Amino acid sequence: MENGTLNHGVDTGSTITIKGILSLLMQNIDEQTSKKRVISLGMGDPSAYSCFHTTHVAQEAVVDALQSDKFNGYAPTVGLPQTRRAIAEYLSRDLPYKLSSDDVFITSGCTQAIDVSLAMLAHPGANILLPRPGFPIYELCAGFRHLEVRYVDLLPDKGWEVDLDAVDVLADQNTVALVVINPGNPCGNVYSFEHLKKIAETAKKNKILIIADEVYGHLAFGKNPFVPMGVFGSEVPVLTLGSLSKRWIVPGWRLGWFVTSDPSGMYREPKTVERIKKYFDILGGPATFIQAAVPRILEQTDEAFFKKTINLLEHASDILCDTIKEIPCITCPLKPEGSMAVMVKLNISLLEDISDDIDFCFKLAKEESVVILPGTAVGLKNWLRITFAVDSSFLEEGLRRTKSFCQRHAKQLLRY
């Protein structure tokens, strides 16, 4: 029991992880007694569904690199030169300046890029500003690096914008960075150019750099186009984190990047560059043949592939929002505009035997074999994070079961 409620074995402290909670939820499903197929709306991995698959160019590039017999050895610890150059050129397409290969460091997925960025910034007494709700890996990494975490709330009634007044209050001389996740995970928002500019101005005023998590970069289908934070790199130093994982639907390839989008600042100083390089000497990067495939993947992927993915995500978000409207105890403050997930609010007062979001998700998994992530996992109690990057038939069935679950657990006077 925790504060009078069941926590189902979930650690709600700083060691919480999405995969950890999802594993517990899966264990709560009795597949022997349940005749229903398990539907997971909790993990952002669309590659499990046939409608989401990577482009043939990417597959052929990897196969050709492997069969060439040229990439079986170690790569430089910072990444293959041609891979760094290709990523610099790819990111520079959307910037008012050109990145060089020296600005790019190859990582094992975006998760390793997160760890690198926090490791480079950590020092005794330092603190970091993290968005709430956010991605819990940041908090976990901060704990290992002895970085104090200060939370900046995202505002659901303003499209999950960053509370910039809170940044001014929380930032001090020991604040090393503000993390900005855009397109938003877990909220499904996409920030406007104007809001990103205000974020940059606020960071500059407080003399802190920005860690721009853009792992969902370009996965935008609402009113706001994706704008990289690096656009404001001349105004405030930006560390850009990204990967092939989401846009190319290959999370298992573990190909990410850590990029210094800082054309006139500290990250081009020799001592800083050398420190980054030395840290990469102790890391293990992606497989060499995967790195070797990157230039061809970035240069030859057809725009039609990206458009198809966007259309699938937009259609799925429509299904999600239309169904949520039929469930009184769940509300969606913002229709998804990007990424692959959305935050919805759970009204516990309308349910008679559900204590909180964790209890809701565990009972839903047990009774309906549907897995949804409790909002507590990403920093918001009594909210839910629903991933919609799944086959539409699975999404419809999963939401239908969720609706039935809510009907069964609705208070008597509110049954619908």
Looking at residue 47, its pLDDT comes to 94
- Indicate whether 263 pLDDT > 90: no
SS3 track for 223-237:
CCCCCCHHHHCCCCC
- Which long-range CB contacts under 8 A does 192-197 form with residues at least 24 apart? 192/224, 192/227, 193/224, 193/227, 193/231, 195/161, 195/162, 196/227, 196/229, 196/231, 196/232, 197/232
Mean of all residue pLDDT scores within the chain: 94
**In angstroms, what CA-CA distances link 376 with 112, 155, 380?**
23, 16, 5
Rounded Cα distance, 380 and 358, in Å: 11
Rounded Cα distance, 209 and 206, in Å: 9
Which DSSP letter does residue 185 get? T
Nearest CA to 133 out of 302, 384, 316 is that of: 384
Q: Quick check: 172 and 325 in contact, CB under 8 A? A: no
- Indicate whether 416 pLDDT > 80: no
> What residue type is 74 in one-letter code?
Y
What confidence category does residue 4 fall into, taking pLDDT thresholds of 50, 70 and 90? very low
- Tell the residue number behind the tokens 């594993």, with chain if given: 23
**Residue 217 half-sphere exposure toward CB, CA atoms < 13 A:** 22
SS3 track for 98-112:
CCCHHHEEEEEHHHH
Share of the chain above pLDDT 70, in %: 95
Looking at residue 33, its pLDDT comes to 61
Q: Quick check: 402 and 327 in contact, CB under 8 A? A: yes
Looking at residue 12, its pLDDT comes to 58
Summarised one tens digit per residue, pLDDT across range 147-159 is: 999 999 999 999 9
Rounded Cα distance, 28 and 253, in Å: 29
Rounded Cα distance, 278 and 119, in Å: 12
- Indicate whether 415 pLDDT > 70: no
Helices (H), 179-257: 193-205
Q: Quick check: 218 and 306 in contact, CB under 8 A? A: yes
Summarised one tens digit per residue, pLDDT across range 289-308 is: 999 999 999 999 999 999 99
Q: What angle do CA 137, 247, 276 make, to 5 degrees?
A: 50
Rounded Cα distance, 416 and 408, in Å: 9
Q: Cα-atom radius of gyration of the chain, to the nearest Å? A: 22
What confidence category does residue 271 fall into, taking pLDDT thresholds of 50, 70 and 90? confident
CA dihedral sign, ordered 211, 248, 94, 84: positive
CB atoms within 10 A of CB 123: 11
- Indicate whether 5 pLDDT > 60: no
- Tell the residue number behind the tokens 């990439």, with chain if given: 71
Nearest CA to 354 out of 381, 378, 394, 334 is that of: 381
* Segment (H or E) for 331: strand 330-331
Looking at residue 268, its pLDDT comes to 77
Rounded Cα distance, 86 and 69, in Å: 21
Rounded Cα distance, 342 and 221, in Å: 13
Looking at residue 1, its pLDDT comes to 42
Rounded Cα distance, 329 and 82, in Å: 52
**pTM beyond 0.75, yes or no:** yes
What confidence category does residue 2 fall into, taking pLDDT thresholds of 50, 70 and 90? very low
Looking at residue 15, its pLDDT comes to 64
